[in-house]
Amino acid sequence: MTGRIPEPTESPRGHEPYGEARWPMATAVVTAMVLTVLLPDDLRLAPRWLLPAVEGLLLLALIAGDPGRIDRRSTALRTLSIALVGVLALSAVWSTVQLVDDILHGGKETASATGLLQSGGTVWACTVLAFSLLYFELDSGGPAARAHRIPRASALAFPQQLNPEVASPDWRPRYIDYLYLGLTNATAFSPTDVMPLAAWAKIAMGIQSLVSLLILGLVVARAVNVLA
């Protein structure tokens, strides 16, 4: 490993930027919307339809403004993307707080083993999706900037960046890479193969690890209590 991340280069003059497909990111958002609808009322930030409706409108606006592949650089689209990620993250954090409160006080949503596993698993999955989209949107200026190969310091160091010999010359992280990061960080409670470089990335990954540890730890402890 070289230990040094090569700086990305601007797209050559006359060469169209090649953005990644929108559908993986859109699928993650739709999945988060469905999971929010499935959450018990006491664990949701707003009425069952409200947050999914807001998230759906923001997603449709993004698709309309930049259909197909993500390669259009626009302040308005960037603002919409960050707003969408913010709503998802706020919803996930709120559900986590309410789940922890329900477990600690023996609430009705976690009184049975089935309800406990369903609620805990749904909230945990929502946090994984929310943080994966957060990393996807904030790393290196976002997917549109990465499509244009804008020179910008990476906030997250992937193995292909640390060791370019194992990757193709035009490799760039895509949503699946950030989803994998969110999943492994939530299960290992620490960085695995992707290293946080920027302060915000270290804080975000640290918060996600603590949130995941809290959810899984309390769910297991409560499950032992319920089944005993």
- State the pLDDT confidence band at 52, using cuts at 50, 70 and 90: very high
Structure-block tokens of residue 175:
């949503």
Q: Could you give the percent of the chain with pLDDT greater than 70?
A: 90
Is residue 219 packed enough to be buried (19+ CB in 10 Å), middle (13-18) or exposed (0-12)? buried
Would you say residue 16 has pLDDT above 60? no
DSSP count for the chain of H helices, then E strands: 8, 4
Sorting pLDDT into bands at 50, 70 and 90, what band is 209?
A: very high
Tell me, what's the pLDDT at 13?
42
Q: How far is CA 34 from CA 37, 41, 61, 194, in A?
A: 5, 14, 19, 29
- Per-residue pLDDT of 213-227, as tens digits, reads 999 888 888 777 766
Confidence at residue 124, expressed as pLDDT on a 0 to 100 scale: 95
The mean per-residue pLDDT over the stretch 133-139 comes to 95
- At 71, the pLDDT band (50, 70, 90 cuts) reads confident
pLDDT of residue 14: 43
Q: What pLDDT, in 10s, does the model give residues 142-159? A: 898 888 876 567 899 998
**Any idea which of 80-94, 95-109, 147-161 has the lowest mean pLDDT?**
147-161
- 102 pLDDT exceeds 80? yes
Binned at pLDDT 50, 70 and 90, residue 2 comes out as very low
Distance CA 27, CA 183 (A): 16
Q: In angstroms, rounded to a whole number, what is the distance separating the alpha carbons of residues 51 and 34?
A: 10
Question: Where residue 76 falls among pLDDT bands split at 50, 70, 90?
Answer: very high
The mean pLDDT of the chain is: 86
| Position 169 confidence tier, pLDDT thresholds 50, 70, 90 | confident
Residues 6+ apart with CB under 8 A from 71: 16, 17, 18, 19, 144, 147, 148
pLDDT at 205 over 80: yes
Mean pLDDT of 89-108: 88
33 pLDDT more than 70? yes
Q: What is the pLDDT of residue 48?
A: 87
